[in-house]
Each structure stands twice: as structure tokens, then as C-alpha cells.
Chain A
Amino acid sequence: MRPWSRPGFWLPLGAVFVWGLVVLLLREDTLRETTFTVMMFVGMASSLNILLGYTGYVSFGHIVFFGLGGYFGFYLLSQQGLWLLPAAVAGGLLSGLLAGLLGLAVLRLRGAYFALATIGINEAARAFVSNFGPFGGATGLFVNFQAYQAYGGAGAALWTTFIYLWLVTLAVLLVSALVQGSRFGLGLMAIREDEDAAMVMGVAAPRAKTIAFMLSAFFPGIIGTLYFFKNGNVEPGDAFQLHMSIEALVMIMLGGQGTVVGPALGAVVYQGLRGYLLTSPLFKSLHLAMAGIFLLLIVLFVPAGAVGWLRHRFPRLRKVLT
């Protein structure tokens, strides 16, 4: 059965498509800003899910690709005067390439060793960028305000960025769904369940893992460039926040790892929850602790996440929620 003949294939794509369309029709600046943040995390969580959910490799370094790809794209944009779209794609390609090179080495490690290596890579990348001259060192880079004129003023530039992000988010979900339904995706899931058995059954594990790693790294690079362009500047502390990697992990766990809808749903719910915790007077100072308790409860009692739980509880939903 072709993956696109199932209703579940179209559900997340349709939802995000309509969501972006509504924001574009309403043309409200605050709505665009909140949607931008949420969609960014939908993209981050869904792309990480390709590695974590399907392949079962825990990466704390997803933010490296966001940071380095974003840095590179932003460098091309602000220092070399490249347009936003080619710069963003270049950022994504750099991230993908980097993941390919790193993957050849790091993906030999399994389990917790791989997770530790990704933490190391994250720190090394941050430290490297803060010392790397062309990227502006510790102060980072910023885009000249004049540059926004080329996009029809600052306001129009922000809308353009939003539209690109919307398209990228759709692309991530499409790729995620295609991977899940493909022979390649089945190979990844076999690796997740038992890597040695998968290799015996003829899955070329090293190649499949590297491709999954590259796919999951490509999109954060694009998203990073868009995000930094929207902010107008980029600095090392901003670009490599370990906690953003962790937040993406939490979103995946919340929604359900290894599903297409799960990470997207998790991202929306987590962002909503965080917004509530940050603004409610009761939890304002304790929002981090509350998020921690919440995460702990999920990990301990609903390890399959919301979508996984629903699929388990109501088998008829399995067609719709993939």
C-alpha cells in the first residue's frame, strides 16, 4: 500500500497547511510571531524524530545543526549578500553534509555512548563558533537593517520568512511521513528494535543510519537560518542551547516517538503549556520545575506518548494517526 493512500498521511500535512493559511489570511503580527515559534519547534521535533523515533538513536546535538547551519546561512546572507532562500538552503545543505561526516564516525557508537558523543559535539561546536573569526566570535553576526529593504521593508521580510518556515515545516512532515511508509523507513525501525538482527536480515545499517542522520540534520539548518534572519542577529549562546535540544526531545516524548503526528502535536501542546506556565502568576517562578514534573510523569507512566497511547487504546485510530 502506498503511504499516501492512507488518511493518516494527509492529516498532519493538512492541519499545518490550513493553520499557516489562516495565519496568512488574518495577517496579525502577534499571531505570526507565536505561530513562528510553534512551527519552528514542530519542524525541529519532527526532524529529530526521523533519527530518534524511527532509528532509536538519542541525539542531544540536534541543536548543533540548527546552530551551525543557521550560522552558515546567516553568514552568507549578512556578509555575502545572498538572498534568504538560497542562503537557508545552503545552511541546510551544510548541516546535512556535516551530519554525513559526523555520522560516519559517531554512528558507530550505540546507545548511551552515542548520546554522550552528541553532547560533546554540541559543546565543541559552541566553543568553536565563539572563537571562529569569520562568524564574529563571541559577539556573533547581525544583519544590517538596510538589508530588509530588499524584501520590501522589515514587515514584509518577516512575512516572507514566515511563509518559508511554513513551507519548510510542511516539507519536514512530508519527508517524515514518506520515510515512515517506505522500505527505507522499515529498515530504520528494524535498526531501532535490534540493530544486529536488522543487519543479519540485510539492512545496510551504517548507510541507513547515516542517511537518516543527514535527513534529520538538513531541516534544522534551514530553520536556523530563517530564525536568525527573523531575529536580525546570531550569537553562540543563542545558537547552541542544549535545552532546546532537550525541549525537542520532550515534545517527541509527549506526542509519541516514531509517529508522524506525535512530534508535531507534542510541539504544539508543549509550547502552549509553556506559554501558560510562564504567564500564570502561580507557576511563573516554578515553570521549569512544573515542566520537569510533567516530563517525569510522561516518561514513567506513558512512555509511548499521547499518540502512542491513543493508538494502543483505540486500535481503530491507527489508520488515522500514523
Chain B
Amino acid sequence: MFGQLLSSLADGLLLGFVYGLAAMGLSLIWGVMTVINLAHGPVIALGMFTAYLLFTQAGVNPYLALFAVAALGLGLGLVIYGVAVHRVIDAPHLSTLLATFAVNMIIIGVGTAVFTTSPHNIDYSLGSLALGPITVPFTRVVAAFAALAATALLYLFLYFTRPGKAIRAVANNRMAAELMGISSTTMLALSFGLGTLLACVAGGLIATFFPFTILSGGPYELKSFVICVLGGLGNPLGALLGGLLLGGLEGLVPAFMPVSWVPVVEFGLFVLVLLLRPQGLLGAR
């Protein structure tokens, strides 16, 4: 019993890193421009399918494919920002919510027509890792490390490079940043691109161990909302901890009650945190 609990917890925590990575994208976009990206889920799904196509059509190793997935994610984000978000960036929340949701519908619509909704999977295995009572698939360990590496890169980018600092300046005070000669439009577009990049990479990682359809991004989008609220909306590094928390919860809850209660606990916690500590468990920024 105890061994089972431990391995279910390890499973959940490893998954939590990837959840955190996906949520980080959402959190970054919110933090910089207070836009909730409702196209987050389909973007994750596109990441899955890019990795899938590269693996099945070109035989690219799924982890090498992540670089291509990241490039695609960045480009996708720049396009979405330019087409759908830029015109309504200062409009009431309803406009940005609906604009990004429209993008969601477009991606899902085209994706359904191209890929259908039957499940796909990347047939790739690295064996599993056994540590005492814990046995976990090796792909999940690698995914957790990849998520950690991506987080570290994001941190280095935001704190130690000029464009990264500019993004933080725009997030802090757009007007003041513009007065200092920063082109806020470029920075907003870049941060939207980074947000979708993170989502795509998370999708590519998830694709290495779960089967998926074009609709699979939806649950991860919802989990990302929960994680962002746990970690504090607009705090990308908090998102990683929120992800771990959620992953751990998903690992632990099934030991005490039926698996189908997991969403009740998750979303109940979500609403509770929103009400009691809307700045997140860790506080924003």
C-alpha cells in the first residue's frame, strides 16, 4: 500500500513538472498583458501533433523534435498576437477572451478536419526506472527534466538578457517602458510568442507518454488555469510550483477516494484559492 502510494505520488510529481511548464505559458501571457489566452489548449495540442508528425513522417527523435516544436510555437504565438490580440489589447476583458476563444475554435475546427478526432500516439519508449518501490516510465523522468531545463532557460532569458528585461519592464508599466524607448508592441508580441512556445513544448512532452487527439489540449488548459491560480496569476515561476502541487494532488487523491473525484477536488481548491487568496498561494510576482 505504502509503496503503491509512493509510486503514484512520484508519477504525479513528474507529471506536475510538465503541467507546470504548460501553465507557465499561460501565466507569462497574463502577467505581461493581462490577457487570458483561451487558445492555450489547442496550442498544446498543436505541439503534440507537430512532435507526432516529425516522429512518424520524418523519423525525428521526439526530444530533438522539441526544438522544431518550440520554433513553431513561437511563430504561432506571434501570428495569433498580430491577428487576434493586438487590436483588442486595451479593450475590456470580454473582447480578448472572445478573440482568443475564436482562435481556439479556428484551430480545433481546422485540426478536426485534418487529423479527425481519433487518438494518435508516439510509439516511443525508454524503458522504466526502478528506485526501490518506485517504478516510473523513463519518458516521464526525461520530460520532467526537460520541463525544468525550459524553466531555467526562461528564467535566464527574463532576468539576464535585454529583451527579457524589456518584457519585464513592459509587464511592470507599459507606459513607462515606452518612454524608456522600448517598443511595447514588439515585447507584447514576443511574450505572447514565448507563452505559446512553452505550451507547445509541454504538448510535445506530453505526447511522448500519453495518446492524444486534437481535443486533448482542453484538459491541460483547464489544469493550467488551476495551476496559475495556485501559483499566482502572472508569476511564471510560481506556475512550476503550482504544477508540482497539482501533480502531487493527482497522485495522492486516488489513494483516498475514487479517481473520478479528482476534478472535484481540483476545481473546488481552485475556486477556494481564488476567493481566499486571489494573488495565489505564493503571491504574484
Chain A residues engaging chain B, CB cutoff 8 angstroms? 52, 56, 58, 105-106, 108-109, 111-113, 115-117, 119-121, 123-124, 126-128, 130-131, 138, 246, 249-250, 253, 257, 285-293, 295-296, 299-300, 303
Q: Complex formed: what's the CA distance from A290 to B270 in Å?
A: 33
Q: Complex formed: what's the CA distance from A10 to B262 in Å?
A: 49
Asked if B71 is an interface residue, CB under 8 A from chain A, the answer is no
Which of A113, A117, A131, A300 is the one whose CB lies under 8 Å from B99?
A300
Contact partners of A115 in chain B: CB under 8 A: 36, 93, 97
Q: Assess whether B84 is in contact with A116, with CB atoms less than 8 Å apart.
A: no
User: Given the interface contacts A249-B98, A285-B112, A299-B95, does A127 sit within 8 Å of B263 by beta carbon?
Assistant: yes
Q: Complex formed: what's the CA distance from A121 to B268 in Å?
A: 8
5 pairs of A and B residues whose beta carbons are closest in the complex: A289-B109, A292-B105, A288-B109, A124-B267, A127-B263
Distance of B3 from chain A, by nearest CB (Å): 28
Asked if B106 is an interface residue, CB under 8 A from chain A, the answer is yes
Q: Assess whether A131 is in contact with B264, with CB atoms less than 8 Å apart.
A: yes
Chain B residues engaging chain A, CB cutoff 8 angstroms? 30, 34, 36, 83-84, 87-88, 91-95, 97-99, 101-106, 108-110, 112-113, 222, 225-226, 229, 233, 258, 260-264, 266-268, 270-271, 274-275, 278
> Can you list 17 pairs linking A and B with CB atoms under 8 Å apart?
A106-B274, A109-B275, A111-B93, A115-B97, A120-B267, A123-B266, A124-B268, A127-B267, A286-B113, A289-B105, A289-B106, A292-B104, A292-B108, A295-B98, A295-B101, A295-B102, A299-B88
Q: Assess whether A253 is in contact with B271, with CB atoms less than 8 Å apart.
A: no
Chain A contact residues: over half helix, strand or loop, or mixed? helix
Q: Complex formed: what's the CA distance from A322 to B143 in Å?
A: 56
Distance of A243 from chain B, by nearest CB (Å): 9
Contact partners of A295 in chain B: CB under 8 A: 98, 101-102, 105
Q: What is the chain B residue whose CB lies nearest that of A291?
A: B105
Q: Assess whether A288 is in contact with B112, with CB atoms less than 8 Å apart.
A: yes
Q: Assess whether A120 is in contact with B271, with CB atoms less than 8 Å apart.
A: yes
User: Given the interface contacts A112-B34, A119-B225, does A131 sit within 8 Å of B260 by beta carbon?
Assistant: yes
Q: What is the chain B residue whose CB lies nearest that of A137?
A: B260
Q: Assess whether A124 is in contact with B112, with CB atoms less than 8 Å apart.
A: no
Q: Assess whether B98 is in contact with A299, with CB atoms less than 8 Å apart.
A: yes
Contact partners of B30 in chain A: CB under 8 A: 112
Q: Complex formed: what's the CA distance from A130 to B84 in Å?
A: 36
Distance of B200 from chain A, by nearest CB (Å): 19
Q: Assess whether B258 is in contact with A131, with CB atoms less than 8 Å apart.
A: yes
Contact partners of A117 in chain B: CB under 8 A: 271, 274-275
Which of B94, B95, B261 is the one whose CB lies under 8 Å from A131?
B261
Contact partners of B84 in chain A: CB under 8 A: 296, 300
Q: Complex formed: what's the CA distance from A289 to B222 in Å?
A: 21
Contact partners of A123 in chain B: CB under 8 A: 222, 263, 266-267
